[in-house]
Amino acid sequence: MATDHRLVYLLNVGHRRLQRWTQSRTSVGGVTAAQAGLLFYLEKKDGALMSEVAAGLDLSASGLSGLADRMEHAGLVTRQVDEADRRVWRLWLTAKGRAAVRRSRDGLVDLNARLTEGFSKAEIDVVARWLGSLQDKFPSAEGDPGLE
């Protein structure tokens, strides 16, 4: 008899609780979790096209645009027209954004320690592999309203 793990339920509840927990602490390193994701992306690919960033973060174009607006207003990123194609925009980290990356990374060390507490490295490796497999099993679809 198969064990009923209620995986979808557990994922949803876990996601909501983790989001509430991180939001109740205002941020990871002084920024929201969504902002930290964008900062980490730009740390690796500073000056990326907004369309590349949206795809990399699994966000809709409008979702990324709003996030970029808020982060630009906070002085964490700048948005500049691409020199080769003036129809598209690139995002760049500011000095304040680079400092927020460092603070966020420090905050994530503590969060990851809490998330993995009580589990062996082998168990966490399996969980990480399983969660990563969801991206292949359920690829994002352009225009998916769940991506905002």
Q: Give the tens place of pLDDT for each residue, 44-97.
A: 999 999 999 999 999 999 999 999 999 999 999 999 999 999 999 999 999 999
Distance CA 114, CA 69 (A): 32
Asked, for residue 145, whether it belongs to a domain, the answer is: no
Banded model confidence at residue 2, pLDDT cuts 50, 70, 90: low
* Interval 90-107 mean pLDDT: 93
Q: What is the pLDDT of residue 67?
A: 96
Q: What is the pLDDT of residue 25?
A: 66
Q: Give the tens place of pLDDT for each residue, 109-125.
A: 888 899 999 999 999 99
- C-alpha separations of 131 from 16, 41, 73, 76, 140 in Å: 16, 19, 33, 30, 15
What's 93's domain CATH number?
Answer: 1.10.10.10
* Interval 10-26 mean pLDDT: 83
pTM of the model: 0.77
Helices (H), the chain: 7-24, 33-44, 50-57, 61-73, 95-116, 121-137
Helices 33-44 and 7-24, interaxial angle, to 10°? Answer: 90
Asked, for residue 148, whether it belongs to a domain, the answer is: no
Banded model confidence at residue 98, pLDDT cuts 50, 70, 90: very high
Asked, for residue 49, whether it belongs to a domain, the answer is: yes
Residue 22's closest CA among 34, 5, 11?
Answer: 34
Mean pLDDT value across the chain: 88
Asked, for residue 1, whether it belongs to a domain, the answer is: no
What is the count of structural domains for the chain? 1
Asked, for residue 14, whether it belongs to a domain, the answer is: yes
How many residues does the structure list for the chain? 148
The CA-CA-CA angle for residues 53, 57, 62, to 5°, reads 70
In sequence order, the 6+-apart residues with CB closer than 8 A to the CB of 62 are 148
Distance CA 89, CA 86 (A): 7
Asked, for residue 66, whether it belongs to a domain, the answer is: yes
Asked, for residue 93, whether it belongs to a domain, the answer is: yes
Query: Which domain, by its residues, includes 90?
Result: 7-138
Question: What is residue 81's three-state secondary structure?
Answer: strand
- Specify whether the CB–CB gap between 42 and 36 falls below 8 A: no
